[in-house]
Amino acid sequence: EGCGKEGPIRCIFFCEFHPTAGPKLTCQVPEDFISKDKFEAVSVFLIPKSQLLRSILTITTYTIKILGFPMRIDDKKYPRNAYYFNVCFVCDSWARTVQYESVVKKLSDFLTVLEMESSFLSQREQNKQYAARLGEMLQQVLEQLNSSGMCTLVEGSASTHLKVINQGRGPPPVLDHQVPVFVESPDSFQTDQWDLTTQQVLPYIDGINHVLKIAALADVENNLVKTCLQNLVYYSVVRMVPIFQYSNSYSVSPKLRLLATDIKLQEECVRAVAKSGFQSPNLRDVFRMYCSMKHGTTIKDLCLRFNPQSLRIDEIRLVQFGMLHELIRRVHKYPVLIEHPEDDLTRGEASTLYCYFNGQQSYDEICCKVGISSQQLESLIERDHNVTVILK
């Protein structure tokens, strides 16, 4: 779907299969947007074989993306006992077009009704009024969908309402080493709202357990747990955050400034990070702890410096709230093998893990895959001169 960004409809064109000339581009708005050469290069896809009829087709070519819904009307009155056509939307090649799919289909169905009632499409060469009206309709659709996302077409007794529906993008895949955290209190959900797998998984979502551990505790196959959590992410029930460890480092984001000005966020933060529900921490202390998070400073360092318990702050909740509201971000460690030893003599202590040291897998991922703690991994890497660590 391109880069994921939405763009305007650049052109709408109508093409059909001529019994002697083959595929023809017979109407487009604006005129001459699609050249003859461009059309001929993709015409085999626009008027396709019968297996692809009444299917959404997306073709990316040159700098454009073409979205169509090829149709066939069977009737003995046509030269080949069938009439083939396709009305297509043209967007930039980088643009997301999934939101137009239902519109193209509905517009195609509307034109089919007009054709079956009055030969509106197939008789345009003989009836110039039909030809002009088709151009007007396509122009209306182009302008109104781009300006308001809606368009109503009326032709005789037939009418249709077209509306662009923006579809949310699916959540990213859930990874073994990620930790699900409830966005809202789990007490607000009823058990019978969920399927059996979700009901098995929910009790083990505590903001500490990672996906692989939840699967083991719930005795549910790992891929099922991932699918379940992905569904919960989609419906904003949970968010996925990195594993919490006292050896973790975090850095602040520009959004932290909101905590200094947004009263509602301040109140929510103080409630969320409180060690108990009886005494709230001081916002100033919470803000100071966030501001002290930086590269090379671990949560353990912060605890030794601030003693959050004496400040009535729960450091785990502090990190979770910061991650969920994007006030902070995790600084991950990525081991990289800088020298490839040619023999056993030059191999370091972490040699059995060299396959993971490609700079793309973090400590969390590696530890989760091989079943060791981050302290053990850190110790192995520190004693191995062939490996360095990138922080990002």
pLDDT of residue 168: 63
CA dihedral 242, 246, 249, 255 (to 10 degrees): 70
Round to whole Å and give the CA distance between 387 and 339: 7
Closest CA to 83 of 120, 56, 57, 51: 120
Mapped onto helix, strand or coil, the DSSP state of residue 59 is strand
Round to whole Å and give the CA distance between 322 and 327: 5
Determine the topology of domain 9-163 in CATH. Answer: Beta-Lactamase (3.30.450)
Contact 10, 91 (CB under 8 A): yes
Round to whole Å and give the CA distance between 125 and 235: 52
What's the per-residue H, E or C state across 60-94?
EECCEEEEECCEEEECCCCCCCEEEEEEEEEEECC
- Both structure tokens of 162: 């077209």
pTM of the predicted model as reported, rounded to 2 decimal places: 0.59
- Both structure tokens of 263: 């009263």
Contact 281, 274 (CB under 8 A): yes
Beta-bridge partner residues of 301 = none
The amino acid occupying position 160 is T
Angle at Cα 264 formed by Cα 270 and Cα 232, nearest 5°? Answer: 80
- Both structure tokens of 114: 């007009």
Polymer length in residues for the chain: 392
Q: How many helices (H) and strands (E) does the chain have?
A: 13, 14
pLDDT of residue 4: 58
Q: Which CATH class is domain 333-391?
A: mainly alpha
**pLDDT one digit per residue (tens) for the chain, 392 residues:** 554 578 899 999 999 999 888 999 999 999 989 999 999 999 998 998 888 899 999 999 878 999 999 999 999 999 889 999 999 999 998 888 889 999 999 999 999 999 999 999 998 888 899 999 999 999 999 999 999 999 999 998 899 999 998 766 677 889 999 999 998 777 777 666 678 888 899 999 999 999 999 999 999 999 999 999 998 888 888 999 999 999 999 999 999 999 999 999 999 999 999 998 788 999 999 999 999 999 889 999 999 999 999 999 999 999 999 999 999 999 999 999 988 776 665 577 778 898 999 999 999 999 999 999 999 999 999 988 889 999 98
The stretches of 292-330 forming alpha helices (DSSP H) are: 299-306, 315-324
- Both structure tokens of 124: 């345009």
